[in-house]
Structure formats: structure tokens, C-alpha cells
Structure 1
Amino acid sequence: MKIGLYFGSFNPVHIGHLAIANYMAEFSDLDQIWFVISPQNPFKKKESLLPDYHRLELVNRSIENYPKIKASNIEFGLPKPSYTIDTLTYLKEKFPIYEFSLILGSDNLKNFHKWKNNDLILLNHELYVYPRPGYNDQEIKLNGRVHLINAPLMEISSSFIREAIKNHKEIPFFLPELAYQYLKEMHFYEK
């Protein structure tokens, strides 16, 4: 089974993330997509980051009726900050029969050379790259391990959602209904 790992803080998960995951599940050769909720991205500050289990719950509520997408808390028990190579090594040991690939935006691919052991990642795993606003996909160097997926261009961001909620905007169509209800009940991002 070929698993696409979609890493992120998902702070919060939104319809853009879900549309990309859905597209990858239906229009690539990946059998399943796993949202890997990262406790701490080495390239991001931890400010305004919801606790891990709340972000996991938001993802679970968002995907509960779609069996091709799963939520993974695999990084919660690993050393922080989370490095992709360490997570991949752990997953390969835990699930040796699965083939793991990475799903990332063209914005992240631009900085891929800065990732810990990026050469080892590329040697052992395929990358599925989706377009991001402001990044020229023609500059992406393709080889047998990097696949440019012509997914819809998503201009929505988690920071936009956090800012909108902080400014008391009602944005129920930017998240799945159950996730939005949970976010409202818990008063996340209101301050």
C-alpha cells in the first residue's frame, strides 16, 4: 500500500488542506493520505499553536466520513522538534509493508535542500508536489522521485483563518462543519 504523508501543524486544518488531500487520494497513485499533525515544525514559531490533541481532533472531525484519509499522531511521541527523516524512519520500522511518500507544496519544495538528511529522504521516498500561490512550478527540477501534481491552486491559509476568528469574523465555509463547530465551542483563536 502506498501512503502519502501530508505533514503540517494544521493550525487549524481547513478546506484547502482537505481539497489537496482529496485530490491526491483520487488523482494520484497514492492509496491513502495520512495527515501527520506536527507538534512543532523546526521552521515555525510555536506561538498561537493549539495543543496537539485539539489539532488532531479538528482533523479527525474533518475527515471522519472519508476512508482514504487518516489522521496520524505519530509525531506526538517523537523528540521535538520534529524532523521528517526521523518520522519516516520510525514509520518504516513500524509499518514495513507500506511505501511512504511525502506530499508537499511547491513553497516547501523550494526549501527542501534545508531539510535534515534531504538527500536520504529523496533516495528512499517519492515527493508529490502540489502548486502554491506565488511559486513557479516550472522551476521544479523533476526526476523519477519528484512528481508535480496538477492539483487546484489553494490560496487559503491557516493564518488567514486565525486572523479572521480573532477579528470576530464568521467563516463557517472555510472549515468542515464539525471542525468549525468544535473550534467555536472551544473558543479557539479568539484572542
Structure 2
Amino acid sequence: MSKLEEIASRVELYSSKSKSSVTLFGGSFHPFHDGHLECLNQCSEYEDNIIIVLDYSPWKSNEQEDPYGEYLKIKEATGERFPIYTGFWAQKLRRPTYEWLQEVKYPEVNWLMGDDTFGSFLKWFEVEKVCQFLTKIYVVPRDEKMDEYREVEKKIKNYNSKIEVIYLRPHDYQNLSSTKIRSNK
């Protein structure tokens, strides 16, 4: 078993005997930066079981050169506060969110995302079904395009009228972008 598989086996991604809800923060995080950490910090004011899900974006060529090294950087930045699920990186597996989300068996499943992800959320594979699994979506703003966000929210509520979209506060790291960081290297 690889180090990443071993780490993944210790994270209660799919169910928990002691927790009734989970908030998932999925992404390639290539690289992880202070904006991601601010997303986690703000959401933790509302939720106490937030799991970082290291995943591959279907729209990007983002396979990590050193997945374990990237995991260690994220772990160093977040400490023990947030479990990190490394299973998809360990298996080098590109699995659409809908496929694995249906295996998550918490009574309440929430999603944390930045506004860039929220803006493209309607393009996700089987987004209608993804919405059926979710109770809340936490959105951390970057560009403050509230009119656009409200349009996305309205369409999401057509898929699941009970879903709650919660907009978190603007923050000092809104200008950070993994894409920009990668292109400046």
C-alpha cells in the first residue's frame, strides 16, 4: 500500500459512526495557497467536519509530479484541522464527482467551493444528480459577480429546491489563483 493509499484509508470520506454531516472541499489544489486555506477557515465557522478531497479536474491536465509531496504541503498548511482524502491521487483516478459522491452516506453532505468553481458548476457531469446529494453549498467569493452567482443558484434550486447556497465573506486572498501561480513559475 502506498503512503497516499494508507492516508486515504484513515479518512472517513464515505461514512462515519460519529459524524452526521460532512463538508467536502474538492480540487486539484495545484498548488494549494492561502486562498484555499481561507475557504477552509471561513467554512469551519459553520461546519466541523470538512474533508479536503484531492482530485483531478476533468478540464485540466493536472496530474501531480509528486502527489505525496503536494499532500505534505497541504498538510503543513492545514495542520490537523482538516482530514485530507488522498485516494484519487493514490490511484491516479479521474472519477467524476457524481460517481463517488453517490457513495457518500452521511445524512448531510455539503460542498465548499470558490466562486470560480461555482461559476462553472452547471458544467459538471451529471450536475442535476450531484445537486440531489447536497444539502448546502458554501461559496467563497473572489470576483464578486453576485448577479451571475444568483443565476447559477436559481438553476441549482431547480435540481434540488431544498439545497442551501451560503455565500461566505470576501477575503484578503481573493486575487490568488493556482493557475496564475503555475504560470508565473
Q: TM-score, normalised by structure 1?
A: 0.69
The structural deviation recorded for 1:109 is: 2.1
Partner residue, 1:73: 86
Q: TM-score, normalised by structure 2?
A: 0.71
Q: 1:157 to 1:21 in 2, by over 3 A?
A: same
Q: Quote the RMSD (CA, aligned, Å).
A: 2.3
Q: 1:75 to 1:98 in 2, by over 3 A?
A: farther
Partner residue, 2:3: none
Gap regions ≥5 residues in structure 1: 167-191
Count of residue pairs brought into register by the alignment: 154
Q: Structure 1 residue runs of 4+, over 6 Å off?
A: none
Partner residue, 1:185: none
Percent of aligned pairs sharing the same letter:
24
**1:33-52 to 2 correspondences below 5 Å:** 33-38=50-55, 40-46=56-62, 49-52=64-67
Partner residue, 2:101: 88
Give the letter for the 1:37 counterpart. L
CA contact (8 A) 2:42 2:168 kept: no
Give the letter for the 1:42 counterpart. P
Partner residue, 2:178: 158
Counterpart CA distance in 2 for 1:35 and 1:46 is 17
Tell whether 2:136 aligns with 1:118.
no
Counterpart CA distance in 2 for 1:160 and 1:56 is 20
Gap regions ≥5 residues in structure 2: 1-19
The structural deviation recorded for 1:87 is: 2.4
Q: 1:108 to 1:56 in 2, by over 3 A?
A: same
CA contact (8 A) 1:41 1:82 kept: no
Counterpart CA distance in 1 for 2:146 and 2:124 is 20
Counterpart CA distance in 1 for 2:58 and 2:97 is 10
Partner residue, 2:167: 149
CA contact (8 A) 1:3 1:33 kept: yes
Can you list the C-alpha shifts for 1:59-117, whole angstroms capped at 9, x where unaligned?
Answer: 1111124x3x2211132356732311122123x1xxx3453211112222222222111
Q: 1:113 to 1:74 in 2, by over 3 A?
A: same
